[in-house]
């Protein structure tokens, strides 16, 4: 069963495999949060959409970082588990 998993290949889909993340920072209290990337986000931008105000302190929110994160598929997770155990 495990060997079958290795042979099966899915077409590579970068949009499913890589996910863009945005870090937002509250200028008033220093609160930081990682959220999904929204279109037109860039570093040092003052956020003006629904994330614009920090709910707890009403401070302005700014973007401090944008990066790509690798999104493991369930199959890859299974494989890592397997390799940890037997290699």
Residues that bind Zn ion (CB under 5 A): 26, 28-29, 31, 54, 57, 59
CB atoms within 10 A of CB 29: 12
CB 9 within 8 A of CB 39: no
Cβ distance to Zn ion smaller for residue 24 or 26: 26
For residue 58, the SS3 value is coil
Q: How far is the CB of 58 from Zn ion (least distance, A)?
A: 7
Cβ distance to Zn ion smaller for residue 29 or 52: 29
Reading the block at residue 34, the tokens are 């990682």
Cβ distance to Zn ion smaller for residue 5 or 29: 29
């Amino acid at each position: 069963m495990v060997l079958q998993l290795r042979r099966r290949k899915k077409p590579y889909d970068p949009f499913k495999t890589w996910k863009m993340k945005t870090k937002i920072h509250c200028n008033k209290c220093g609160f930081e949060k990682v959220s999904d990337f929204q279109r037109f986000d860039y570093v040092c931008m003052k956020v003006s959409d629904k994330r614009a105000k920090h709910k707890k302190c009403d401070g302005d929110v700014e973007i401090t970082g944008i990066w790509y994160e690798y999104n493991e598929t369930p199959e890859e997770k299974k494989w890592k588990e397997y390799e940890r155990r037997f290699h």
